């Protein structure tokens, strides 16, 4: 460290030197996809807001948020990608960022959804003098429909289980009765073959004297 000494500024304009904000907000490095809704055709984004001058001062003036269908497209040509406007937001505000260090969340309605539909997002924060920080990290989200788990009412489940169990028991009883009847008939047939009816047992028999 050293002292700067003493110096004199000459030729100062009347009224002083006009001041201008030349410091942009810091680069956002933690942009993340917090949620995707196939039903609402929307994507939830979240990041930490930077300041008016790097990460200091008041909040930035607005957020320049852009999206594209491919990650490389957005990474290679940020300024040629589609800019998200306030009318596309279901939640949040791009023109009123929070104070530096606070988390900002927005929900964006995207143009389409379906199989193989992917969107990439990136942003930069800007101050009131249109000084903007570098584009943030790039994130992607998929708008493919993923069916949820099928839930069945427990009462209905137990009724179905009870009906199936009742049918199984009834079938088992009928099969058991069938085999018992068949066995009984077989035993009678065997008994007749061993002890045939005698002539006396024949009602048409008439004894001779």
What is the predicted pLDDT for the residue at 30?
A: 97
Query: What percent of the chain stands above pLDDT 90?
Result: 50
* Residue 194 vs residue 80, higher pLDDT: 80
Check residue 151 and give its pLDDT. Answer: 64
pLDDT digits (tens, 9 = 90+) for 154-178: 777 777 888 888 888 888 888 888 7
58 and 130 inside one domain: yes
Regarding predicted confidence, which is higher, 192 or 48?
A: 48
CATH of the domain at 118: 2.60.40.10
The predicted pLDDT at position 16 comes to 58
CA distances from 158 to 131, 152, 154, 164, 172 (A): 66, 10, 6, 10, 21
Tally of residues, the chain: 209
- Count of domains for the chain: 2
Give percent above pLDDT 70 in the chain. 83
pTM score > 0.85 for this model? no
Given 142, 164, 179, the domain boundary residue is 142
77 versus 1: which is more confidently predicted? Answer: 77
DSSP letters, 99-149, are STTSEEEEEEE-S--STT-EEEEEEEEE-TT--BPPP---EEEE----PPP
Do 153 and 130 fall within a single domain?
no
Q: Does 105 lie in the same domain as 53?
A: yes
Q: What is the pLDDT of residue 73?
A: 85
Same domain for 42 and 134, yes or no, is yes
What pLDDT is stored for residue 203 in this prediction? Answer: 54
Confidence of residue 153 (pLDDT cuts 50, 70, 90): low
Mean per-residue pLDDT, 182-208: 62
Res. 148: pLDDT tops 70: no
Quick check: is 70 in a domain? yes
Residue 142, phi then psi, degrees to nearest 5: -105, 130
Q: For the chain, what is the mean pLDDT? A: 84
Q: Identify whether residues 123 and 171 lie together within a single domain.
A: no
* Predicted confidence (pLDDT) at residue 199 exceeds the cutoff of 50: no
* HSE of 174, CA atoms in CB hemisphere, 13 A: 6
pLDDT tens figures, 75-123 = 889 999 999 999 999 999 999 999 999 999 999 999 999 888 999 999 9
Is 85 strand, coil or helix? coil
Phi, psi of 121 (to 5 degrees): -130, 145
Q: Of 142, 166, 189, which closes a domain?
A: 142
Please classify residue 55 by burial: count the beta carbons closer than 10 Å to its beta carbon, then call 0-12 exposed, 13-18 middle and 19+ buried.
middle
Model confidence at 152: pLDDT above 60: no
HSE-up (13 A, CA, CB side) for residue 203: 0
Per-residue pLDDT reduced to its tens digit, 37-76:
999 999 999 999 999 999 988 899 999 999 999 888 888 8
DSSP string, 7-62: -----PPTT-PPP---PPBPPP---EEEEEETTTTEEEEEEE--EEEBTEEEE-SE
Q: Which domain holds residue 61?
A: 32-142
Q: How far apart (Å, rounded) are the C-alpha atoms in residues 60 and 21?
A: 12
């Amino acid at each position: 460290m050293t002292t700067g000494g003493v110096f004199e500024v000459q030729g100062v304009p009347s009224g002083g030197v006009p001041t201008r904000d030349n410091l942009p907000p810091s680069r956002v490095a933690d942009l993340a996809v917090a949620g995707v809704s196939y039903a609402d055709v929307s994507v939830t984004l979240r990041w930490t807001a930077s300041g008016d001058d790097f990460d200091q001062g008041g909040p930035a003036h607005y957020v320049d948020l852009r999206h594209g269908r491919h990650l490389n497209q957005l990474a290679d040509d940020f300024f040629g990608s589609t800019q998200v406007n306030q009318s596309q937001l279901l939640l949040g505000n791009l023109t009123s960022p929070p104070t530096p260090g606070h988390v900002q969340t927005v929900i964006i309605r995207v143009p389409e959804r379906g199989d193989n539909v992917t969107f990439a997002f990136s942003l930069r924060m800007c101050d009131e003098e249109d000084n903007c920080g570098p584009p943030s990290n790039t994130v992607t989200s998929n708008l493919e429909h993923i069916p949820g788990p099928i839930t069945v009412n427990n009462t209905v489940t137990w009724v179905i289980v009870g009906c199936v169990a009742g049918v199984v028991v009834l079938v088992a009883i009928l099969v058991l009765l069938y085999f018992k009847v068949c066995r009984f008939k077989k035993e009678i047939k065997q008994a007749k073959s061993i002890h045939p009816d005698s002539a006396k047992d024949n009602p048409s028999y008439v004894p001779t004297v």
